[in-house]
Structure 1
Amino acid sequence: MKIGLFFGSFNPIHIGHLVIANHMAEYSDLDQVWFVVTPHSPFKTKSSLLDNYQRLEMVYRATQDYTKIKPCDIEFNLTQPNYTINTLVHLQEKYPQYKFALIMGEDNLKSFHKWKNYALILENHGIYVYPRVSEHPDSYRDETQFDKHKKIHHVNAPIMELSSTFIRNAIKEGKNVQPMLPQHVWEYLDEMNFYK
């Protein structure tokens, strides 16, 4: 079985994440997509992050109706900050029967050469890339050195211009964000008064 790993803080998870994950599960050779909830990315500050388990709970609620999409908390017990290479090693040890691949946006592919042990990741795992809008539409396509790599698969997923930051700010301003979130997630956020 081939599993696509979609890493993120999911603070909160929104319909954009689900649309991309579902597209990967339905329109690529991935059998499942796992949302890997990141406790703390080396590239992000922790300030506005909800608790790990609250974010995992949102991912659980968002994915409970999808058979091919699952939450994953593997990074909760790994040394921080988490590096993707370490997570992949742990997952491969824990689930030797699965093949793991990464899912990332074109913008991340552009900086992939800065990742810890990126060459080792590419050697052992496929990468499934979804399109992102940029100020210069061709900039990612031109600049990435990995475009022709046999392990990199560009998947023509819908372009989702929705961000968790936008949603958090909208909630803070008292705006209605219900259409941007899976229903179960919206109910949980509302009930817990998150981001207000």
Structure 2
Amino acid sequence: MNKKVGLFFGTFNPVHIGHLIIANHMAEFSDLDEVWLVVTPHNPFKKKSSLLENHHRLEMVYKACEGYENLKPSDIEFALPQPNYTVTTLAHLQEKYPTNVFCPIMGKDNLKSFHKWKNYEVILENHQIYIYPRIATGNSEDKFLDHPKITRVAAPVMEISSTFIRRAVKEGKNIKPMLPAAVWDYIKLMNFYR
């Protein structure tokens, strides 16, 4: 049986409840069977220096996914050449799991720059893309919104950022409610973002 798998890409530096709420909403309220949280080792658009090491971010995603049977951590991109692109990951996954149907998940705001993605036409041709809402900033993404390969899911609008969390931890703020408990404990144990 074909399994429909949503791919939620992120540096997850750190993974927070916003990520979990979106991923779980996609797994529970769309036709996706599972959502894989794909930890990206290095986004070509981000400075690598601010990233925790790959295995620490993956460990936090493992801890965050505990108890959610339809959410799975994935380190699939760790073995791919860097910088890596979504189109490469999708091809690699399709080859490794030929019976699965893979569907990238992205925030509505990312559709604005989607046309700049490497081989975005190939992605659109071969994969359904699941979009979750973000606080609106203009309408330049409209050219994709009516595309037959774009599926909008009315997930909660989450405006928690990993950047905010890192800054708050550095300032000694208690932001425990924004993180899965096991992730908060791990950050404290490892003394991250101080």
State the TM-score bracket (shorter-chain normalisation). over 0.9
Distance 2:168 2:17 in 1: 15
Distance 2:95 2:25 in 1: 27
| 1:132 and 2:140 are equivalent in the alignment | no
Q: How does 1:1-196 map to 2 (within 5 A)?
A: 1-134=3-136, 136=137, 139-140=138-139, 143-196=141-194
Percentage of pairs with the same residue: 67
Superposed CA deviations along residues 70-120 of structure 1, whole A, max 9, x for unmatched, are 000000010000100000010001000100000000110111000000000
When the two structures are superposed, what TM-score results if normalisation uses the length of structure 1?
0.96
Flag structure 1 segments of 5+ consecutive residues without an equivalent: none
Distance 2:141 2:99 in 1: 35
Whichever residue aligns with residue 124 of structure 2, its letter is L
Distance 1:130 1:112 in 2: 14
RMSD: 0.8
The answer to whether the 8 Å contact 2:109/2:141 transfers is no
When the two structures are superposed, what TM-score results if normalisation uses the length of structure 2?
0.97
Flag structure 2 segments of 5+ consecutive residues without an equivalent: none
Shift of 1:12: 0.1
Whichever residue aligns with residue 168 of structure 1, its letter is R
The answer to whether the 8 Å contact 2:111/2:141 transfers is no
Superposed CA deviations along residues 27-56 of structure 1, whole A, max 9, x for unmatched, are 100000000000001111111100000000
Distance 1:144 1:8 in 2: 23
Distance 1:120 1:12 in 2: 30
Check 1:37–1:143 CA distance in 2 against 1; reply closer, same or farther (3 A cut). closer
Whichever residue aligns with residue 144 of structure 2, its letter is F
Distance 1:87 1:157 in 2: 25
Q: How many residues align structurally?
A: 192
